[in-house]
Structures are given as structure tokens and as C-alpha cells.
A = this chain, B = another copy of it.
Amino acid sequence: MQPRTTVQPPSSGRSLEHPARDAIRLEDVLHALSDPMRMRVVRTLAGETGELSCSVFDLPVSKSTTTHHFRVLRECGVINQIYRGTAKMNALRREDLDALFPGLLDSVLRAAADQDLRLGRDGG
């Protein structure tokens, strides 16, 4: 994994659309999490307290597919994306998700970790 950005430049003028908390829908969140690549992103973000640049995610898919997955996660309300300088930074909307769907995110993350153990797969 590449070095992570720890210093956060202020966000640039470009902003990305996000649903407000009350516009987040369970069905969209479940759909977002049903994709293994998106789940991997969410699990990695869940292990971080801050933001991660898109560039630290080394998904075994094309760059455009990676961008698509991040957009799906943002548009359904699972992650926040913000431009800082030239980097697009990502963070899990844990507070929003926990407020709307208590226990859901944690049970999904645990289920994913348990499943990896069962299948002898590398987590995240």
C-alpha cells in the first residue's frame, strides 16, 4: 500500500454531490455493499479514523471501474468524497449510517470479516 496522506490540505473549490443524511436509503446502501470491490473499500475505510486518498486503494479492476465504485458509494451515502488539492479523499459516513441504521454497518463488517476467515481469504 502506498503512503497515506496525513496532512489534509483544505478542500478545493470543486465539490461533489452527496445525499443528506435523511436522503440515504437502506436499499441503496445494501446494494452498494453487495459488490466485493465496494465492500473492500468500505472495510478499509472502516479501519481508518481519517480520510484516505483514492490512490491508496489498489483494487484489481480498471481505474474507471474504481472511480465508478467510489461514485456509487458516495451517491448512496456510504462515503464522503472531497477534493483536497489534487487528491480525492474518502471517508466513511459512519455517524450518518449508525444514526440511520443502528448496528447495521458493524454487523456487515463483522460478517465480511467472518466470511473471509471461513473462506481462508485475506481480509479487506
Binding site for B on A (CB under 8 A): 22, 25-28, 30-31, 33-36, 39, 100-104, 106-108, 110-112, 114-115, 118
Contacts and interface: CB of A to CB of B under 8 A. Distances in A.
Given A27-B35, A31-B31, A39-B27, A110 B103 contact: yes
Taking chain A's interface residues, is the majority helix, strand, or loop, or is none over half, making it mixed? helix
Copies of this chain, tallied across the complex: 2
A30 B33 contact: yes
Contacts of A35: 27
22 contacts: A26-B39, A27-B34, A27-B35, A27-B36, A28-B34, A30-B30, A30-B31, A30-B33, A30-B34, A31-B31, A31-B34, A34-B34, A100-B111, A101-B111, A102-B107, A102-B114, A103-B103, A103-B106, A103-B107, A103-B110, A104-B107, A106-B107
